[in-house]
Structure formats: C-alpha cells, structure tokens
Amino acid sequence: MPLFNKTELERATQLVHTQMLPTPQYVWPLINDAVGTEVLVKHENHTPTGAFKVRGGITFMDWLLRDHPGVRGICTATRGNHGQSQARAATAAGLSAKVYVPYGNSKEKNAAMRAFGADLIEFGDDFDTARTEAMRVAEEEQLMIVPPFHVELVRGVATYAFELFTSVSDLDTVYVPIGCGSGISGLITARDALGLKTKIVGVVSSEAQTARLSFDARQLLETESANTFADGMAVRVPVAEAFEIYSKGAERIVTVTDDQVAEAMRLYFRSTHNVAEGAGAASLAALMQERAQMKDRKVAVILTGGNIDTNWFSMVLCGETPRSC
C-alpha cells in the first residue's frame, strides 16, 4: 500500500499550491536529440527555494503546527535545500530554525538558508555527522527535530510527482536522484496511488553509493565517505524508512560519476539555459548513460534543483568537474 492515497495527495497538492505554483514539465528538443528519445524535464528548480524540498517544508510545518501547537522551534541538518525549505517554513510560522551543516558546505546555500531565517551552525566533516549533532541538540534544547526523511516531508515532496503523473500518465520511466530518499519515495508513492506502471529509476553518485549498495544487497549498508560535488546525493548512511519504500518500488538504481554529472549540467545549460546543481543533473546523466535502452520510450527526468555555487558552475561551464573533499 502507498503511503498516501489519491485523495490525500490531492489535498497535499492543494496545500502546496497555496504557497507556490505547480512547476512545469517541458520537452526540450535539444535534450531529445542528445538522448535519442522524448524526454520531459520536471523543473523543480522553478520553486520559491530553487529546489523540490520546499514542498516538504510546507506540509511538514502544516502538520507540526496542528499536532504540536506548543513547539518553540525546529532543528535539522542539511547540505542546503532541505535547510532552506525548513527555515522558510519555520520563520513564516514564527518559529526558530536551527540548521546544522558540515564544514565546507556550499557558501551560497548557507547564505540562502540564513536569508530564509536559519540560525546556521557548521559542525562535522559531512552531512551524516552534522545530522547526529542536530539530533543531540534538538533533544537537549527541546526543539522539534526535522529528520531528513519523515512521512510529512514525503507528503509534500510527492506533490511534484502527483503534478507530473496527472499531467502525463503514459511515462515509461522516470529518473530521480537519491540522497536521503524523500524524492524517490514521493515518486513511488504517487505512482502507486494513481495505479500507474511507470518504472522509477534511482540515481546515486559513484562517490556516494549507499542507496545502490543497500538496494542491491537488500539490506542497509553504509559507506565510509560521500565525497561528491553533487551535495544533494552526498549521504553515507542510508535512511531505513526510505529504503523500505525504494527497495520494493524502484526498478533499479544507477550510478553516475561526477564527470557525467558535470556533462549533464552543461547539456542542460546549452540546451535549455536552465541551471542545474549536481544532484539536479544526475537524472539526466543516468538517462544519457542508458540512452540505448531508453530509445523510443517516453521518459521523464527530475531536475531537482538549481542551487550551485557560482564558482563551481563556472568551472563546469568551462569543461571542468569540481572536486569535493
């Protein structure tokens, strides 16, 4: 059974649309030419925070205010897009938002989170270390912890999938990046709620393969590092609740290199003049890798966000691949 039925997703979509317009899904001829089939790009880079995570912030905060009316504030960890979403939603509700990021996090994402009202704290060498500290501090200071995966976050994230599938119901395959797993879980949930047969293909970085390793082994497996410039996929520790969904509902999980991601970012820009961050371009990178088997099929890719630092994007446009460490 999907997490939510069609009626519940319709209500969630109506709620999300009180704060943002539906994002478009466009067919770009030059993308089609490069891939060799019809491709719809779902533009989650066209949201109030430049990424799909904003949807989960809307639904999570709606739930939080109803079910925990005395809450003083929230605490969470992020590489950027989740933090922008939560800071935006909490500040609008009059709550504090303490947001943990690892050292060396994107300067421009950090600036955006602060602009949305976050009290930003740098801690640890990677996301998973920052997440552990955020959970400790939330308990210590009696703040509501916002985990990277929560059913009320998925309720919101699934609305982009609901928009896509109710607009285009005959898709053969959809490619989506995996970080902590809310995006792929939302797609699977919406597909199943609508009774569609569309295949969902997850995408991970070759430098952060925890989701693929877990999927292939049918058990949770951590990695020692997650050093990819595609920070939305830079996760070492799989999320059990998300794994429960994508281990059963995904067709397969594909691995892409940072070089392939950078090339997909360049393809997006020269073909559509849209900016895609690393994770945002990962779906297209995977489709390019599998273009022979996708020939003559109707496919969608999720451009999950466009929030990349200027210096890294400049490097990409000059033919280089940024390196994370």
> Looking at residue 188, what is its pLDDT?
98
Rounded distance, CA 127 to CA 107, Å?
Answer: 15
Cβ 186 vs Cβ 160: under 8 Å: yes
CATH code for the part of the protein at 6-52+151-317:
3.40.50.1100
Residue 310 has pLDDT above 70, yes or no: yes
Mean of pLDDT values over 200-207: 98
Q: In this predicted model, what pLDDT tens digit does every residue of 54-111 receive, in sequence order?
A: 999 999 999 999 999 989 999 999 999 999 999 999 999 999 999 999 999 999 999 9
pLDDT tier for residue 323 given thresholds of 50, 70 and 90? confident
> Looking at residue 186, what is its pLDDT?
98
Token readout for 56 is 């989960």
Please state which of the four CATH numbers 3.40.50.620, 2.30.30.30, 3.40.50.280, 3.40.50.1100 is assigned to the domain occupying 54-146: 3.40.50.1100
Average pLDDT, the chain: 96
- Give me the residues paired with residue 253 across strands: 202
> Looking at residue 118, what is its pLDDT?
97
- If one counts every other C-beta atom within 10 angstroms of the C-beta of residue 124, the result is 17
Domain 6-52+151-317 shares a fold with domain 54-146:
yes
Residue 234 has pLDDT above 70, yes or no: yes
Q: In this predicted model, what pLDDT tens digit does every residue of 256-268 receive, in sequence order?
A: 999 999 999 999 9
The domain locations on the chain are 6-52+151-317, 54-146
- Across the chain, how many H-helices and E-strands are there? 14, 10
**Chain centroid to CA 157:** 8
Residue with tokens 């799909």, as numbered in its chain: 52
pLDDT tier for residue 14 given thresholds of 50, 70 and 90? very high
Q: In this predicted model, what pLDDT tens digit does every residue of 282-296 receive, in sequence order?
A: 999 999 999 999 999
pLDDT tier for residue 1 given thresholds of 50, 70 and 90? confident
Residue 325 has pLDDT above 60, yes or no: no
Residue 20 has pLDDT above 90, yes or no: yes
Mean of pLDDT values over 239-246: 97
Mean of pLDDT values over 205-220: 97
> Looking at residue 24, what is its pLDDT?
98
> Looking at residue 182, what is its pLDDT?
96
